Amino acid sequence: MAGDLAMDVLVAGTGLPGLAVARALARTGLSVALADRMGAALPDAPPGDDDWDARVYAISPGSAAFLRALGAWQMLLPDRIAPVESMRIEGDAGAVLNFSAYAMGERALAWIVEERALRGALLTVVREAGIEIHAPVAFESLSFSQEAAVLRFDSGVSAMARLVVGADGARSWVREAAGITTAARPYAQTAVVANFACERAHRGRAYQWFRDDGGILAWLPLPGRRVSIVWSAPESLAEELLALAPEMLAERVAAAGRHALGAFATVSRSMGFPLHSVKVQAAIAHRVALVGDSAHGVHPLAGQGVNLGFGDAEALFAALQERGPVTDAGAPILLERYARRRAEPVLAMHTVTDGLARLFGTATPWARSARNFGMAGLDRLPVAKRLLAQAALR
**Strands 86-90, 205-210: parallel, antiparallel or unpaired by DSSP?**
parallel
Cβ atoms 342, 98 nearer than 8 A: no
Per-residue model confidence (pLDDT) at position 103: 86
Sequence-distant (6+) residues with CB within 8 A of 370 are 359
The chain-wide mean pLDDT, for the chain, equals 90
Per-residue model confidence (pLDDT) at position 296: 96
Tell me the per-residue pLDDT of 229-250, one tens digit each, with 9 for 90 and over: 999 999 999 999 999 999 999 9
Whole-angstrom distance, CA of residue 359 vs CA of residue 185: 16
Between CA 36 and CA 41, with CA 37 as vertex, the angle to 5 degrees is: 65
Please confirm whether the linkage preceding 332 is cis (ω < 30° from 0): no
Whole-angstrom distance, CA of residue 259 vs CA of residue 44: 34
Distances (CA, A) of 189 to 92, 317, 355: 17, 34, 15
Whole-angstrom distance, CA of residue 89 vs CA of residue 79: 26
Per-residue model confidence (pLDDT) at position 383: 53
Least confident of 83-87, 91-95, 153-157, 311-315: 91-95
For residues 2-15, average pLDDT: 91
Count of C-beta atoms within a 10 Å radius of residue 114: 24
Residue 369, classed as helix, strand or coil, is helix
Whole-angstrom distance, CA of residue 330 vs CA of residue 162: 5
Whole-angstrom distance, CA of residue 200 vs CA of residue 170: 37
Least confident of 154-168, 222-236, 250-264, 362-376: 362-376
Tell me the per-residue pLDDT of 268-297, one tens digit each, with 9 for 90 and over: 999 999 999 999 999 999 999 999 999 999
Q: Please provide residue 118's backbone torsions phi and psi, each rounded to the nearest 5 degrees.
A: -70, -40
pTM check: above 0.75:
yes
Q: How many structural domains compose the chain?
A: 1
Whole-angstrom distance, CA of residue 308 vs CA of residue 314: 10
* pLDDT higher than threshold 80 for residue 387: no
CB-side neighbour CA atoms (13 Å) of 65: 10
* pLDDT higher than threshold 60 for residue 378: no
Whole-angstrom distance, CA of residue 140 vs CA of residue 373: 53
Per-residue model confidence (pLDDT) at position 384: 52
Tell me the per-residue pLDDT of 187-208, one tens digit each, with 9 for 90 and over: 999 999 999 999 999 999 999 9
For 205, counting Cβ atoms within 10 Å of its Cβ (0-12 exposed, 13-18 middle, 19+ buried), the class is buried
- Specify the DSSP class assigned to residue 292: G
CB-side neighbour CA atoms (13 Å) of 91: 23
Least confident of 24-28, 224-228, 387-391: 387-391
User: Could you list the residue range(s) of the whole structural domain that residue 352 is in?
Assistant: 5-393
Least confident of 36-40, 51-55, 107-111, 245-249: 36-40
Residue (of 34, 20, 107) closest to 70 by Cα position? 20
Domain holding 197: CATH number?
A: 3.50.50.60
